[in-house]
Structures are given as structure tokens and as C-alpha cells.
Structure 1
Amino acid sequence: MKTFSFTCELPNGVHARPANHVETLCNNYSSEIKWTNERTGITGNAKSVLSLIGTDTLFEDTCTISVEGSDENEAFEKVKQFIETEFEHCDAPLETANEDDGEFVPLPRNFANLKAEHIRGRAVSGGFGRGKLVRVGAVDFDSLTDLPPVAAIEEEKNQLEAGFETLSRSFKVQLASAAATEADVVKAHLAIVNDIEFKATLDAKMAEGKGAAEAVIATAKHYTAQLRNSASAYMRERELDIRDVCFQLLQAIYGEDKFSNSLALTGPTICLADDLTPSQFLELDKSLLKGLILTRGGSTSHTVILARSFAISTLVGVDETKLGDRLGYEVMVDGDLGLVVTEITKPVSRYYEQEQRVQDTVRERQAAFRDQKGMTADGKPVELAANIAHSIEAGPAFRNGAEAIGLFRTEMLYMDRTCEPDEDELYNIYCQAIEDADGKSIIIRTIDIGGDKPVDYLQIPAENNPFLGYRAVRIYEEFIDLFKAQLRSILRASAHGSLKIMIPMISSLEEILWVKDILAEIRQDLRKEHIPFDEKIPLGIMVEVPSVAFIIDQCCEEVDFFSIGSNDLTQYLMAVDRDNAKVTKHYNSLNPAFLRTLDHIVTSVHRHGKWVGLCGELGAKGSVLPLLVGLGLDEISMSAPSIPATKERVSKLDSRQCRILLNKAMDCRTSLQVEHLLAQFRMEQSDAPLVSRDCIMLDADLRSKEEVIKTLSDNLFLAGRCRYPNSLADDLWAREDVFSTGLGFGFAIPHTKSEHIEQSAISVSRLAKPIQWGDEEAQFVIMLTLNKHAAGDQHMKIFSKLARRIMQEEFRSKLMNAASVAEVENTLKSELELA
């Protein structure tokens, strides 16, 4: 027998892929080859992937390989050479997202200070949810109880052998078309199927009298238990390979009808998956699905779109290896901050309890506006509509208060598939949306494919500047059958409800006239076929290419309505690629040039008696809403969850004051001046005093500095004085980083001048028990937040006056012993001469 020792240099240890390389080499020799991990003391058969994995060999473990048999000399030399020269290249370090590399935005300090165990991901659907982490597709073998009856032993063996052959063929077919990384995974799975130890374990289970199904399940449990005991989280996660292969083997033997991979949720659940198809997502019980974590997927996939419509918090691009050892445990998914909390401590629970209180308060307040029409304080109607990408979003949008669908992005119906949808499929989708609309209007935008929305089966070549290239209406002539099928499906559906057709990326009158000719041709065909449709269906265009703004009068002669795409119009007008970080500072929709362009468009359209809306992201920005109302837009379209809040904001605005504001904004010289103007306007909209009862809390159960700052900032948000409480809190923490605002005597005065406070305020919290505040203890917190644009030197004057008063025992006693909120309010107003 010959032996040699070495140190494992694989960063992820010996899992399926590197083990496959070793197994392949060793099976070329008849000698017995053993692999011993000196750290664990476990010896495995080097000719078996599973046996090698079972040694639990990790990075920098010392291992010994022994070779004994008729060809041991040759085998020893080849294996030794392989280990010394090739083995370290059999795997690569895990790709990890460095949270400091700019990929993720910094977390708000109120959360970051909790030091919660978490991993980051890209948030694609907001909100948060808590539940047991379950991997969709990862089978629970304990739940497989209704097994086929056991037949004669020979029949069972034949079934198992046939299953192996079927699965092996399936893997080989996948290998033929798999990309490099996928091929490695498929090869590893194929190696498991061919693994001598795997087959030996199955044979041993069947020798105990088990049928093929029982033997496969018992084998899966055997190797799962072995891998779960690994010291490496990555290796523990690798047991999914075994489970995948074993379940696929069951399906190969008995068929997918008998062994379905659908998941029945039994309690509040966070689902983890590589990716989900829409049908898989729809099968999940939404009352129990509290969050979705996808290792792959993008913000435009149908599954993500569905998750948003059902308000399921969702992250994509999450490193699954960091979650493998959390399966079966409770986690929290935060679709606002873009993270998964993997250890829910008491402070974390309290943080999200406060988040829930804020959400509940806002939801209850906005419910009063949900079913009302958008209307300004002086009685001017502003239709508030929803943007959707699939018919299944229509129902939730209308239930959320949408007065119409202002933008149905149909390109999503063409993506994530291998061929285009046919006319009947599109017709049925549009009819589904019409049914939910119940008479309300739906604007269907024809396909905006190309540019940043590629569709593989159309084989449109890659371009250097796709945003200015071959996209939207510009591709319709080449793909005329696809365009005609869409127009036919829209026209057919228009017989059942109120539909409008909108064409994207129009830049000239020629394009409008060409579309109208095609539309007239299709109308004539439908008449000949006696297919009903709305003869007066409105035709509109997107206003996103600046050239249209200067022929708007001519366009008004040819189309019925207009919808401003604020995202692209800003990008094209300012000649800024909004995805280029080096120039994004120039992408600013508050630029006076952009505002003047909007005003010219709206005024010109209205002069011709036509309708104009806005459907870009600008519509949901509360800070810009007064300018949009000032424009006199007939409609503003946005994501459905933003509609109730926007209705509430619109109801407090006077359209005449907003028009005056817009005129002033268009006269500004810079975007910064417009921002100052908007800040001043927001302050003038309310006469809220510096001290008011809705910003005072007595005997609050707040247990840390973080909880105090978060709760008081949230209260300012609920009081309408602040739009971004996390940003306001970060400004307060920036001051605390310089010096603690604890003054002694049980008092603290956190303070800031911030652009995130719209109405300056003094907030108060008398705590039930003292908390640590820097080097001091504090039980009475007076938080001073003044608007950055209007504070002047008021900030330091009030702070100094407060600090002097706190030195006086009588003042402190009045506040500490106040019997009511009113008493605290009166004391502060009197002492600070604010009455």
C-alpha cells in the first residue's frame, strides 16, 4: 500500500463538483483508493462522489490518500500528480456580495445599529414578512407517505434500474445544451446517479425488504443527515444536490403525477428558490406566503410582477449558500431595505413591530381615500391610475383605488418565454383585465421591445446605445405579423370594455400615419370576418422623444390622447443615460428646462381639446406632485400601492396655488432653486406649530436610543411633517456621531437641520424607564428637527435656550412630572416663548 498526505486548498471544501473530478480519475484503476480526512477521522471511497463528500473535507484540512492493489504504482503516481497540480483548480471561491462595494445602499442607522445578522439582496417587491424559511423544490422526504405498494423484489429492482437509465438520459440531454456553470452542476448530479456508494446504499436498503420508493427515500435521508452534520454551511447546503437527484429518481420511476414537486405551506412561510415559474407561484397559499427569496430572477420576471401584485416582499440575487443552514428556522424578509434577517432578536422584533404600527396607521388613514376620485382641495379632478404589466395585476390595482389603468406594459407578455404569445392568448389576457376593470378605462401600450428589454427569439442584434436604437415602434415594420396580432387582439377585446391603444417611442408624424394605416387595415379585416370591436377605440402616443413636443399641434390632428413618459423624456431631453452612474446627477426632472417642456406639451394638447396624462415614475413622487397638479394633467399614472397616498396628497392641494408654484419653478435658473421652492411651498401648506400634541409621547415603552429616534421620526412622518423618516433619522445620527446629545439630569436633545423635515418640529418622548444615551442616562428626550432651507440660525437659538432651561431644576421637574401631553406642550411653548 502507498500513501501520501496533503492540505485541501479548495475554498468550498470537497463537495459534488470537485469530488466528481476525483471519482472520475480513480475509477480508471482497479486498486482500492481511500481518502481520509485527518480532522474528522472519516475515511471514504475515492471512487465515490458521495463517499468523498461524506468525509466532510473543508478548506485547509489535512488529508491522506492510500492506494492498494494490482496497479497501485500507476494509480498512486497519477492521483498524487492530480492532487498536486490540478485539484486546487477544480472549484472556485464563492462569489459574495461585499456590502461595502457600493452594490447595496447603506442601511438606515436605526436598523444598522441593531447589529442584526442579515444578508443582502436586491429588493423587487416592498414590505416585510416573517416566517419559516422553506426551499421551494427541496423535497421533504418525511412527507412522502403515500408510497406505491411494494411488488416482488425482481420487479422493484427492474423499476429502480429503469429509473436510473431514464434519469441518466435526461441529464445527458441537459448536458448537450447547458452553459459551463450549469454543465458542472449537471455533471455532478450525473456523477451521483452513477456513484457506486449511492447504488450500494440503495441496494442495501432494498435488501432490508424496502421497495424502490422506500429505498430511494431512505438513501436520501441517509446522505442528507451525513451532510447536515458538516462544519461548513456551504457543505450543509450541498445536501440539496442529493435531495434533488433522489426526488428526480422517484419521478423517473413513478412519473411526475405520482411525485409532484408542488409545495403546500403549513404556516407563515418565507420561500427560497432559484427561481419560480408564475404557475408555481400561483399554487402557493398567499395567506401563508410571507416573503420570497430568489437566487436568480429579475425585476421584470412574471413571478416578481405577481409578487408585487399580491404584496409579497421579494428579494432577488440572494446568495443561497448563506441561507442553507437557516432552512426550517424563522427569518425576516425586508423588501424595503433589501435584506434577510437570519437571526430575529428581540430588538429586531421590536423594530419591525414599530414598522407594522406605522404601516397599519397609514393604511387605515388612506383607506378613506381609496374609493374616492382624485380631487384637489378646490374641486379640480385629477384621475389617478395604475401602471401594470400583466392582467393579473389589474384586480389588486382597482381594489387599491385605481380609477383606470394608465399604462398596461405589454412587453412583459413577450418576455421570459421561447416564442411570442399568439393572438388568442393576448385577447384572453386583455379580457381578464377588462373583467376586473368593471367599466373603467385601460390604456394598452403596444410592445416596447428592444433597448433595455431584449427578447431572445426575435434575435435583435445588440447595440452600442440601445435606448436610442432599434426598439418599440421602430421594430414594428420588420415584425409586422407580431404587431398586427397584437392590434387584432386589442381590437377584439375592445368589444368587451373600455380600451385605448397607445404607441411608444413615437418621434415623427410619419410613424403615427403608418400605425394608423396598419390599424385601418386590421379594422377592415375584422369587419370582413364579422368580428366585433369598438369602432371608436381611442389611439394615443407616448410623449417621450423630445421631437414630439415641437410637433404636438400636428400630432393632435391625428391622435386622441397623449401620455408623457417622464423617465425617458427626462433622459432624452437632458441627453443623460440614467443607468450611467457617472452622469446620473444630470438626470433631474426638476430641471427648469424639463418643467418648461412639460408645460408646453400640456398647454398645447389642451389648446386642441385633447387629453394628456403622465405615466412615468415621477407621478408617485409626493414632493413633485404640486408641480404635476400645477401642470393641469388630466391623469397621473403610477404603481398601484402609491395611489391611496397620492389621493390623500392631492386632496390637500389647491390647483391654483400649484399653478403659481409651477410658474415660479419654470422661472428658476437651477434645479436646486426648484428644490428650495418646493421645500418652501410644503412649509407654507401647513401652519403646524413648532410644538404640537401629535409629536409628544408620555411614558413610552422605548428601550434604546435607536427606538427613540426611530419612533419620533416615524411620528413626524405620520404627522405629515416628514416624507422619509429613515433619512431624517440618519441626519440625527450624523449629529450623534460627532457628540452625544445627552445633557445629564436624565435629558437628551437630539437635533438636526435637515432637508428631510418639511415642517420644523420639536418632538418629545418621556420614557417609562431611563435608557443609555452615550455616557449618560436619559428618560426625557426633546428632539429638535428644523427644515434645512428655512431654519437659518433658529436651530442653535432653540437648542441653546433648551439647554439653558434644562439646567434649571424647576423646568426639568415640570416636564418630568407633567400629568398630560397638554401640560408638556404648554410648558415648552411658554418657556421657549413659542406661544
Structure 2
Amino acid sequence: MKKEVAFTCELPNGIHARPANHLEAVCSKFNSDITLKNLRNGNEGSAKSVLSLVGTDTLLNDPCSLIIEGDDAESAFETLAKYIQEEFPHCDEALEVMEQGDVLLPQSLMHHNPNLVHAKRLSTGIAKGKLVRYTDVELSLFNDAESDMSFAQAKQAVTETLLAKAETANGQEKEIINAHLGILKDEALNSQVMDAVSQGKTLARGILTAVASITETLLQSSSDYLKERVLDIKDIALQLLITAHPHMNVSTEFTLTEASIVIANDLTPSQFLGLDRAHLQGLILTQAGSTSHTVILARAFNIPAVSGVSIDQCASQEGELVYVDGGLGVVALEASQDVATYFERAIWLAEQKAKVESEFVNDAAQTKDGKHIEIAANIACTVEAEPAFAKGAEGVGLFRTEMLFMDRATAPDEDEQFNAYKAVLEAAEGKAVIIRTMDIGGDKPIDYLNLPHEHNPFLGYRAVRIYPQFIALFHTQIRAILRAAPFGHTKVMIPMIQSIEEIRWVKEQIATVKAVMDSEGVAYGDIELGIMVEIPSVAFIMDQFCKEVDFFSIGSNDMTQYLLAVDRDNDNVAKLYNSLAPSFLRLLKAVVEGAHEHGKWVGLCGELGANKKVLPLLVGAGLDELSMAAPSIAPTKAALRQFDSEQCRDLFAQACDCATIADVEALLDAFSKAQEDKPLLATECVLLDCEFNSKEEAIQTLVGNLGIRGRTHLVSELEADIWAREAVFSTGLGNGFAIPHTKSDNIAHSSISIARLKKPVRWSEDEDGDAEFVIMLTLNKDQGDQHMRIFSGLARKLIHENFRNTLKSMPTEDEVIAFLKSELAL
């Protein structure tokens, strides 16, 4: 029997070792011959061989076919058709590739005439350490060697070593180890080695021949990503060769004894993992590409890395201290004291920025007066969960389970759903996960359910309304959720509820499912039950719903369109869709107050939750939670810190009393102007008793601090603006004071930065050219003439010795700010 599964490759990096390993594992369960054919280039390869699959040079969007021939072809077809559609597209992810456009090198560095080697940026960060050349083992060393064991024995030993490493690995490291395990059992590699041995060649020669053949195939690929897999093949080959020839005493151990920058032609993943990461600070890889597994590991372990630097360029500096800046793409050799000071300061600034950002990711979301509002993530599949929590999610506010049911020929079974829900609950580590039951129909039709075509599907046969017809499907989902519930804080939300009768029917079905599970002895956990508030009728009987459910979550998208009778996907009326309509705000108020009167929790999971402009209104409405896409979580947490909850409540009350959308927007604009801008003078921009060694270090630090404080996202550009002004004339005013300044588009929040130095630095070549007190003005272009007004005001004040001495003697940042505000009338 012959069957065929046609598909288009959706993998962003094509079929390389890791996804090939996944596909090979599925195909190897069947007796049939299974061949992957790439219809773009005509290449074919056994789907039971990782290396043959990789050798097909299958790239993103290539049309492909799996050709199945054998006695179990029917069974293989059913499994693979489902696997290719549902799982295979998710077994790899787009890898970070750093943009290699022009990089603006900071003038604070370039003024010191550094000896820089320019490189390709692979992994960001700044590292310093002794430059150490990696001593590699050449495969050719084993050319004429006689092995001490068979191929099977060598494979078994290497496999056991990798399995032991996999037990303690996680993330990218575990994925790469698993890919290497797949290469070890690869059909193509094994057959080529064994064929060579059967022809009388030594095991070493057989391994080397197979590696050469497979490497040649990979290097012919049009994908740089697949070419970079050559290193993985050589990695496994070296491990096999060393294991099979213990009498040669070949060791890959490479010992680092102090903070080191390692330079090598390239490193295999196992060589990288063998380095002592307590001492490994950075990598210079002469040949590595952006997506090599070694680079992926470097990023995972936060090791700065660059490539495109020859060993000869750095040979004279072996054993000496060097700096690697993975963000700028440079290696600094023979660093002078000034250059070293620049990099030391850059490392310190990076540490301070990481510290500030980590506060928003890991700390609870709250307003500046301490009002906590949970910030959760909206997800559609299991793979989104871990990244969402890494970005600071305090829970999952909406798990759109219908995505499990879409784009497939049949519904997911109970076990598949159970595993999906369990994976998200485990990733949550005790944080609440709201699992929305399938919201199918309407704008999300499912072919295999044969739902009728409707003229107005948004108001039609969808969500909870279809559950009675597909009762087995609904029961299966409830069973899967109940089975997963013991693995975390599980909340179940029913979509499109509009009446008490509907939610009571749902509760009866849950009771029925539990009874069956009890009779079967199937374990399950407790759940909280809630509803999506989308249909306006719910708001008018909140008191009744509070008797039936544990929580509410407002779907702002649908609730807006249902309230305003506007199809937001209809271009003719879309302009009427606006959640700032006073009627919507009053409806929101009714839902929140109705829930809270009965002690019930209420969140919002629509797109409105991530709208920074509307955020103060949502805070003022008294919502317990906002749920949004993961990238919006940290910025929303940061924005919350700007608001006072009492002011937000007053704002919301005023908005509910507005007559028009324009009135609400004007109210928000006025509130935003008062809230968003950071103050011109703030203690976060005052640095007292600084140990600067140069004008360059002073400007580097003051501008870098603006980046840390979120006042600019263009640090190098803003610094360049400051230096452009300095190039015209020095901003040193004498008497120990300097006022570097710029009016720039590169500053988001106009700022006055202050640095008091422990010792003077040379600011200009004038006789009185030293500075020990720096006041830096960085004002955006929206400030009109304020830039020159402040500059001239400061200059006039600095003429007076009493002003200068008072400013120099201020003991605290607060006193400096208060004094300048008073003197400059700011």
C-alpha cells in the first residue's frame, strides 16, 4: 500500500537536526518505508534518518510530500497527517539573528583611539578576560587508528554520556543534546559507517568517510542555517572517535583557570558545554554563524560572542586582558587605561539597567500608591506559556483552547488536551490559569463540525450555544481540564454566556462528567468556574450571576461591538467601534461594581488591557486583573507605577459622566500630559561623589543613566548629539562647572542630569578648563525655547560664587533638586 502526506514546511529554519529528530522519531514507529520529497528541489531522503532529512535542504515554505509504502501505511498515514498538521510546525522556533547594520560607536570610546577589531555580532553583552586560544582535536588524528571497540559499543557509550547530561540540562541545552542523540541513531550515518567497516575499513575510517559525505551534502545547501549543522556532525564524530580509541588518550578537556575570553576557529556544542562557565566570560569564534548551536547556547547562558575575527588578528594578545562587546561588535585589544575605563563603566551601566528592568519583570504589578492589579498573559498554545512567565506574567488570564481544535481534520482527544492544559499549569508554578472552553463558531469555524453558514456569525451559533449539539466534545474537554487541575491553580471560563439558564446547564454537565470520572476511578482536581462577560445583558443581572460563578472576565472586544451594534470587521462601520464610548465605560462600571458587591473577582482579557493610554481608566474602574499579549506585560507594569489609584478613580468617574467619545479622549489627553512625562529634575538623574577620570566618562555615565531610567532608548544617538555640541565649542564655563547640552529628538523625557565629581577632570583646553560639577541638559524638541532659557539661567547663576559653593556642598540628591528648582524657577 502507498500513501502520501502533502504539506508545506512551516519551520522558520527549515528541517535541521532538531525538527528532523522529532519527525524521525514518529516515522521510526512504523515498518513502512517513509520518504520525504522536497518538491522545490527534487531532493529525497529517508524520513527515518535525521541526516537524510536534513540533506533534503528543506527550507521555510518549501512544498513537500511524505511518501509511505508498506503494510502499515494506512496507520502511518493517519498518524503522520495529524502530526504534520498539529505538532511538526511547533517543534522549532525562529532564532534570534542580530541585525548587522551599521552600529554607532560611542564617542566616549572613540575619543580614546581604541585598538578595535570589528566583528559580526552574535550574542550581546560586554565581557572582559584573559584571551585564551582553544586547542582543538583534529578528526584527522584518527586516520590510521585501530579501534578498541565496535561501532555499537562506541555508540552505546556516547549515548549513555549524552543521556546523563540531558537529565540535568534544560532549555536550549537539552534540545541540542536531544538533537545529537538523534544524529547518533541516524539511519544514514549508521549505514554509511557499517558499510565502510564491512568493506574492511577501520572504524575510524568509516566514521570519517561518513562525516565527509554528510558534510558535503550539508555544505551544498542554500541555507546558512543547515550549513552550520556541519559542526554538530563533527561533534558527534569526535565523541565516537575518542570513545572508540581510549588507548590514544585523546582528551577534549580544556581548563580555564581565571576570567577568560576564548578564541577559536569554532566550537562544537559539546566543547562549549565542556568549558567552565564560572571562568568563561566571552567568545570570539572566527567562523561561527548566527544560528550555530554553539551561538544558541552562548545566548542561553548570556555569554557575549562575536565572529569573523581571525586568530592571527589577536595572536599577539594571547594571555592579555581584552574586552568583547557583543552589542557593538568589537574586540578591544591593548586597551589603554582610558579604554579600559570606558568598558568598565559600560559593564556597570549594563548591570544597573538589567537591575532596573528586572524589577518590572519579577515584582508585583502595582500603582505608585501600592494598589495591586494582576497583569496576566493571553495565550493560544502551550509553547507560549513559559515565555509569558519569563516576561513577568502573574498568571494566564486567557488560554484560548479553540486553537487546539482548529486547522485539523479531527478534534483533539482527551489525552492531547490533558497534556496541553497540564503543560501550561506546570509552567505557571501555582499562578492562576484561566482556561476558556472552546469558543468555536462565529469567526472561528471548524470544518469537521459542519456548522451552518450564517449571515451574522458573531451573534449566531457559537461558543456555549453549540455545546448541547456537540455534548461529547464538550464533555471530553471538561474531563481533560479536570484531570489537569491537580497540577495547578485551575480556573475554567465559559464564553458567550448571556443567561442564568446557560450557566446552570454548564454546571450540570460538569457535575455529570465528575460523576462518570468518580465511577471510573479517574482522579481530578478542583476548579473555579467563571464566565466571559461579552454580552451586555449580563451586566443587568450581575447579582444573579454572582450566585452561580466564582469570577468574571470581560471580553472588551466583543462587549464593545455587541453594546454598540458595530461589526468591528466591517469597514463601513468600523469607525463607530470605540471602547472609549461613555456607554461602554458605564457598562464596565456596572460589571465591576456588581461583582465586587458580592465579593467576586473580575478581570479584563480584551485588547483594551494593553492600551497604555486607556490604562488609567481601567485602573480607575477597579479591575482586579488585566490580561494581554506577553510582550506588553513589562511595559504595562512599568506604566502602572506612574499612576495614583485615587486619581485614576476620579478620572474614571469623570469619564463615565462624559457625553461623547471626544470628551473622554480630551480628558485622557489632559491626564496623560500630567502623568506620562518624567519630571525635568529628579533624584534618579543626580549622581553625587562620582569617581570619573575624564570628560568622556562623565558624559558616558550621565547619558547611560538616562537609558537606565527609561528617559531615552537611543543612548548612543543621544550621546552623539551631546558630543556634536561639544565639537562646536566646549561647554565648560570655568570655576569648576560644565553644562553639556543638546536639544534632541533622541530624548523621550526632557531631563537635567547632575554629576558631582570627587576630583576635577579636564573639560577644555582653557586655563580654567577643569570641571568638578557637571549639569547636563537634554531637552526634546517639543520644549520650545526652554533649552536656552534653562542654559542661560544656569550660566547667570553660576557667575555667583555663593550659588556655586552652595551647589557643591549639598549633601543629598533631594537637596540638590530642591535648590535648583527654587533658583531656576522650574
TM-score normalized by structure 2? 0.51
Contact kept, 8 Å, 1:592 with 1:669, in 2: the verdict is no
Task: Give the 5 Å matches for 1:200-279.
Answer: 211-217=202-208, 220=211, 240=228
Asked whether 1:634 is paired with 2:624, we answer: yes
Corresponding position of 1:712? 702
Q: What CA deviation, in whole Å up to 9, does each residue of 1:747-769 have, x standing for no partner? A: 44324598976696444476975
- 1:749 equivalent to 2:740? Answer yes
| Structure 1 counterpart of 2:712 | 725
What's the counterpart of residue 777 of structure 2?
784
Q: Establish whether residue 798 from structure 1 lines up as the match of residue 785 from structure 2.
A: no
Partner residue, 2:484: 493
Change in 2 beyond 3 A, CA 1:364/1:99 = closer
Match of residue 60 from structure 1: none
Q: Per-residue deviation at 1:361?
A: 3.5
Q: Is 1:680 equivalent to 2:674 in the alignment? A: yes
Kept after mapping to 2: 8 A contact 1:493/1:533: yes
Partners of 1:742 and 1:778 within 8 A in 2: no
State the one-letter code of the partner of 2:791.
Answer: F
Give 1:649-664 correspondences, 5 Å limit: 654-664=644-654
Alpha-carbon shift at residue 798 of structure 1 (Å):
1.6
Q: Answer yes or no: is the 8 Å Cα contact 1:290–1:312 preserved in 2.
A: no
> 1:488: Cα distance to partner?
0.6
Q: 1:825 to 1:239 in 2, by over 3 A?
A: same
Deviations 1:72-128 (A, max 9, x none): xxxxxxxxxxxxxxxxxxxxxxxxx9989xxx9x9999799999978899x9xxx96
Q: Identity, % of aligned pairs?
A: 37
Kindly indicate whether residue 782 of structure 2 is the aligned counterpart of residue 829 of structure 1: no
Q: How much does 1:400 deviate?
A: 9.5
- Contact in 2 for aligned 1:763/1:782 (Cα 8 Å): yes
Alignment of 1:470-619 (within 5 A): 483-494=474-485, 498-504=489-495, 518-533=509-524, 537-543=527-533, 559-565=549-555, 598-607=588-597, 610-615=600-605
**SS where residue 623 of structure 2 aligns?**
coil
2:556–2:605 contact (8 Å) kept in structure 1? yes
Match of 1:362 among 353, 356, 363: 356
Which residue identity is paired with 1:526? M
The alpha-carbon distance between structure 1 residues 830 and 410, as it changes in their structure 2 partners (threshold 3 A), is: closer
Once the two structures are superposed, residues 206-237 of structure 1 have per-residue CA deviations (whole angstroms, 9 ceiling, x without a partner) of 99x85254344267469979999xxx999998
Local SS of the residue matching 1:725: coil
Distance in 2 separating the partners of 1:708 and 1:448:
58
Describe the shift of the 1:715–1:676 C-alpha distance in structure 2 as closer, same or farther (beyond 3 A): farther
Q: Which amino acid aligns with 1:797?
A: R
Letter of the 2:673 partner, please give it. A
Separation in 2, partners of 1:226, 1:654: 63
SS of the equivalent of 1:726 reads coil
Q: CA deviation at 1:500?
A: 1.3
Q: Is the 8 A contact 1:236 1:324 kept in 2?
A: no
Rounded Cα–Cα distance in structure 1 between residues aligned with 2:144 and 2:446: 43
Q: Is the 8 A contact 1:443 1:500 kept in 2?
A: yes
Matches of 1:591 and 1:112, distance apart in 2: 51
Superposed displacement of residue 660, structure 1: 0.9
The letter for the 1-side match of 2:668 is V
Q: State the AA in 1 paired with 2:484.
A: A
In structure 1, list runs of 5 or more residues that go unmatched: 1-22, 25-96, 133-138, 157-191, 254-262, 271-281, 297-305, 315-321, 335-339
- In structure 1, C-alpha distance between the alignment counterparts of 2:421 and 2:651, rounded to whole Å: 40
Give the counterpart letter for 1:676 in structure 2: A
Pair 239,399 (structure 1): closer, same or farther in 2 beyond 3 Å: closer
Q: Deviations over 1:260-295 (max 9, x none)?
A: xxx99999999xxxxxxxxxxx99999999999986
Whether contact under 8 Å (1:216, 1:246) holds in the other structure is no
Inter-partner Cα distance in structure 1 for 2:208 and 2:447 = 40
Q: Is the 8 A contact 2:722 2:740 kept in 1?
A: no
- How far residue 564 of structure 1 moved from its aligned partner, in angstroms, is 3.3
Deviations 1:282-313 (A, max 9, x none): 999999999999869xxxxxxxxx99xx9878
**Letter of the structure 1 residue corresponding to residue 514 of structure 2:** R
Q: 1:783 to 1:223 in 2, by over 3 A?
A: same
TM-score (norm 1): 0.51
CA 1:657–1:728: 2 relative to 1, 3 Å = farther
Whether the aligned pair in 1 keeps the contact of 2:747 and 2:779 (CA below 8 Å) is no
Shift of 1:354: 4.7
| Structure 1 position 486, deviation (Å) | 2.6
Note if contact 1:717-1:725 (Cα within 8 Å) is conserved in structure 2: yes
Q: What CA deviation, in whole Å up to 9, does each residue of 1:328-371 have, x standing for no partner?
A: 9999999xxxxx7654559896686255322454278679x84x
Contact 2:536 2:559 in 1 (8 A): yes
Deviation at 1:636, TM superposition (A): 3.7
SS of the residue aligned with 2:681? coil
* Contact 2:146/2:204, CA 8 A, preserved across alignment: no
Q: Is the 8 A contact 1:732 1:750 kept in 2?
A: no
1:632: Cα distance to partner? Answer: 1.0
Shift of 1:417: 10
Q: CA deviation at 1:631?
A: 1.4
**Residue type at the aligned position of 2:713:** N
Q: Distance in 1 between matches of 2:712 and 2:685?
A: 16
CA distance, structure 1, for counterparts of residue 253 and residue 506 of structure 2: 48
Cα 1:360–1:727 change in 2 (3 A) is closer
Aligned equivalents of 1:753 and 1:642: distance in 2? 27
Q: Offset of 1:659 from its aligned partner?
A: 0.5
- TM alignment of 1:294-373, pairs within 5 A: 342-344=329-331, 353-354=347-348, 356-362=350-356, 370=363
Gaps of 5+ in 2: 1-40, 43-96, 111-115, 130-135, 152-187, 242-251, 263-272, 315-321
SS at match of 1:444: strand
Aligned CA distance change for structure 1 residues 457 and 631 (closer, same or farther; 3 Å): same
Deviates more, 1:340-349 or 1:793-802: 340-349
Distance 2:400 2:311 in 1: 37
Distance across 1 between alignment mates of 2:519 and 2:491: 22
Distance 1:599 1:217 in 2: 73
Give the match's secondary structure for 2:713.
helix
Alpha-carbon separation, structure 1, partners of 2:719 and 2:818: 24
The structural deviation recorded for 1:561 is 1.9
- The question of whether the paired residues in 1 share the 8 Å contact of 2:643 and 2:675 is answered with no
SS in 1 for 2:619: helix
Distance 1:130 1:416 in 2: 46
Once structures 1 and 2 are overlaid, which stretch shifts more, 732-741 or 673-682?
A: 732-741
Using a 3 Å threshold, how does the CA distance of structure 1 residues 526 and 669 change in structure 2: closer, same or farther?
Answer: same
